[in-house]
Chains A and B, each alone.
Chain A
Amino acid sequence: MLSPYPQLVRAGFQRYSSYRQAALAGLATNTVFGLLRASVLVAVLAQRGPFAGYDVATAITYVWLGQGLLNVVNLWSDRELAGRVRTGDIVVDLGRPWDLQTALLATDFGRAGYAVLMRLLPPMAFGAVFFPFRWPERPATWVLFAVAMALGTAVSFGIRFLLNVSAFWLLDARGVLAVWGTVGGLLSGLILPLAWFPAWAQAVLAWTPFPALFQMPIDVFLERGDPLAVLAHQLFWAVALFALGRVALARGSRRLVVQGG
């Protein structure tokens, strides 16, 4: 039998490509926020001069990459599974001849692929045309960046999956998803470069999966640090969270009570 997963990647891609107008409108918001955030970072550098490996071009590249990755890695807008747990539709998903978690990951990769085209490349191009921009110096960086982005998406998926599955216990996962949506941005280096945080905060965050989402792919692009160490960290958390999600789903679905036959 043909594996369904490549098809699901394509389906995820196509599902999001049907909202072209929404993607365009989203770009407007992305761009405005990119301009505002870049201004704040540049103001910091204007006061202090380059520090922690960031000069104006690096900081601006950091902002535009972050604005683009926001929709690729996706911190928010993933509540479907929790909704299906709440309504009980999850029974249908669990009964299908696929592995639910792998199927959702495949769909998420499809979504991310579309986001690379529509949501990552335009803000990057905008940043590169209108502002000083730091391009990678080594060609290999492009490949490493693509891998880091995919792994970042997988880590993000792992976290989102766990939060959604919490609906088996909480019934309504909106609260925890909303909390993650707000703290996730700061902890993962989307709002400010993690290198600007106090040393103790950086040391703590290095032990968490959070930098894998945004800071690490951006670091790879900016050629900061050892890219292989970054990919190893990301891979570890992607696998660990996937395994954890598997256990949680198995435990949770044991709590399922199908009523009415």
Chain B
Amino acid sequence: MGRGVYARIIASRVRSQLAYPTSFALDVLSQLLGQSMELLAILVIFTQVTSLGGFTAGEVVLIYGLAATAFGLADLAVGQVEALPDYIRTGEFDVILLRPLGALPQLLSADVQLRRVGRVAVGLAALAWALHDVEWTPLRVVVAVVAPLAGAVLLSAIWIAANCVSFWLVDGREVANSVTYGSDFATSYPITVYGPWLRRFMCFLVPSAFVAYFPALALTGRPDPLGFPDFVRYCSPLVAAAMVGVAALIWRTGVRRYQGTGS
């Protein structure tokens, strides 16, 4: 029964957003513009330099494209988890827990923001442009297809795990933002630009390096300036799977600990 319910819920959300086509078009446009601003910033930077952190413009756009596509897909899938603090504060989370459906799928399907396809579109466009000078091998084709999806799963897991902070902190959203949007920004550039501590935290502890940096190395076949062994480039799906496990554990602990706002 469960799956049919969600299909109906999501279809109804999508229909409601398409009811006002002008407003929807503007929303998509704003997402598209928002995502392009970072790309524009990268292009402006490359009017001044020929390489950034040891990577050429084409390589940085490839990294950006992988990151933006993964982020757009993750945002589309689980962006709604950002509303968790509101659900907790208003007591609506209690209602969710009482229904005979999973709490997380209910939360995620409550408001699927179709406008976020604007972000995905920019990511795919950057990706298409950057992939034109990849020397294709069967393995690289697999990487090009799998990397955005694994990246999306990885970022989704990071989003859910980070937003669980709201189970412990009343005003947790901004703290979660520093991890979610922070890792989005961090993964849009070659991670060689960050200092060692920032890199350890934002790229490995929060494993955003596996969203774009390592897959980009796999696609271009260039040596890693950080000196990681070659197999690390192909580990994104494994890291994504592990992060899903971690996120599930944190979510369950959070829900079990949840006692309601008591009002």
Contact = CB atoms under 8 A, between A and B. Distances in A.
Contacts of A21: 170-171
A22 interface: yes
Interface in A40-61: 40, 42-44, 47-48, 51-52
A192 B27 contact: no
Interface in B23-65: 23, 26-27, 29-31, 33-34, 37, 40-41, 44-45, 47-53
Contacts of B49: 44, 47-48
B175 interface: yes
B174 A22 contact: yes
A178 B50 contact: no
A258 interface: no
Interface string A206-236: 0000000000000000000000000000000
B185 interface: yes
B258 interface: no
A47 B174 contact: no
Contacts of B31: 178
Chain B's interface size range is 35 or more
A179 interface: yes
A182 interface: yes
Contacts of B52: 40, 43-44, 47
A74 B136 CA distance: 46
B175 A28 contact: yes
Interface residues of A, number: 39
Contacts of A252: none
Interface stretch (A9-17, A29-37, A140-148): A29-37
Contact of A175 (B26, B47, B186, B192): B26
A123 to B, nearest CB: 13
A33 B50 contact: no
B85 to A, nearest CB: 10
Nearest to B186: A36
Contacts of B129: none
Interface of A is mostly: helix
Nearest to A184: B37
B177 interface: yes
A126 interface: no
Nearest to A19: B171
A179 B175 CA distance: 25
B173 interface: yes
Given A29-B182, A33-B182, A179-B33, A22 B171 contact: yes
Q: Report the 6 A-B pairs with minimum CB-CB distance, sorted nearest first.
A: A175-B26, A182-B34, A25-B174, A178-B30, A43-B193, A29-B178
Interface of B: 20, 23, 26-27, 29-31, 33-34, 37, 40-41, 44-45, 47-53, 169-175, 177-179, 181-182, 185-186, 189, 192-195, 198, 202
21 contacts: A21-B171, A28-B175, A29-B175, A32-B179, A32-B182, A33-B185, A40-B52, A40-B193, A43-B53, A43-B193, A44-B52, A47-B51, A48-B48, A172-B23, A174-B23, A175-B23, A176-B26, A178-B34, A179-B29, A191-B37, A198-B44
Given A25-B172, A29-B174, A32-B178, 12 more contacts: A31-B178, A33-B178, A37-B185, A47-B49, A47-B50, A47-B51, A51-B48, A174-B27, A175-B23, A181-B30, A192-B45, A196-B48
